[in-house]
Amino acid sequence: MKKVGVIAKQHKPEAREIVDELRHWLIKKGFEPYFDEVTGDLLQEKSQIHPKFRIPSLVDMIIVLGGDGTLLGVARLMGEKEVPILGVNLGSLGFLTATTLEKMYPTLENIQRNEYVIDRRMMLTAQVYRQGERVADYNVLNDAVINKGALARIIDLDTYIDKQFVTSFKADGLIISTPTGSTAYCLSAGGPIVHPQIEAFIMTPICPHTLTNRPVVLPDTAVVEVILKSENEDVMLTLDGQVGFALRYRDVVRVTKARHQILLIQPSDRNYFEVLKTKLRWGER
């Protein structure tokens, strides 16, 4: 891996020093670093700065400096480019950005020696159809969420799986998440923890009016279609908690497994269940 993209969370106070130091280290070790425009603003010496959307097509791997939110944003940029991502945690949780700042350089040295583990993560494609025409198309790593606005009432969502009617949810919303996203909003709404290597996704209602509505784990071949049946309500489709699209009455949200995966470079000593215990205090009394 010769060409390395670097994308950092700009608002971290320590980011400027870290990015400059990383640039010098990469060049010294024979890598060619590329920076997006925001990260490039942190550099003392400006070079190889490109629009963020172009970075995946220019490099062999990407280093993400920040938290899980920064990595989720990069994941949605990838498109068909299955470029490995090394997430370095500068935040507090770091469920996806599993490498600590202290381990960044040893991990990069291992990568240079081809001693690393690739963790393939499933993504979802969420599309919106309005009167039969596709008006929005997104790829997400965590989840696609249909949720009401601050003042909206309970919303009605007719839900189909593989063209078969499932139920009409009366709820605050509906979460459709990947196994990666099962430890995010899905978990907060009472959904199960699903190991990220399982090829499936999860459908979880948010505060359903009927107590018998429970989360459902679906095969990755499933096609989920949700029709908004509530009129005159403020309803959004939210992607990875970062991008929103306003829905209208009778809009259809179609969710399927994405054609491409996200490749995460993981520390060789990383254990998923250890991460659960460390980050979520899983299993503690």
Which residues are known catalytic residues?
A: 68
Q: Take residue 55 and report the two structure tokens written for it.
A: 């970075």
E strands within 37-94?
49-50, 61-66, 85-89
Q: Which two tokens stand for residue 191?
A: 């959904």
Own/partner contacts of 149-152, CB < 8 Å, gap of 24 or more, are 149/233, 149/234, 149/235, 149/236, 150/234, 151/234, 152/230, 152/233, 152/234, 152/235
**On the CB side of 117, how many CA atoms lie within 13 Å of its CA?**
10
d(C-alpha 206, C-alpha 147), whole Å: 8
CB burial readout 150-163, b (16+ within 10 A) else e: eebebbbbbbbbee
Q: Which helix or strand (DSSP H or E) is residue 25 part of?
A: helix 15-28
Cα diameter, the chain: 61
Which amino acid, residue 83?
V
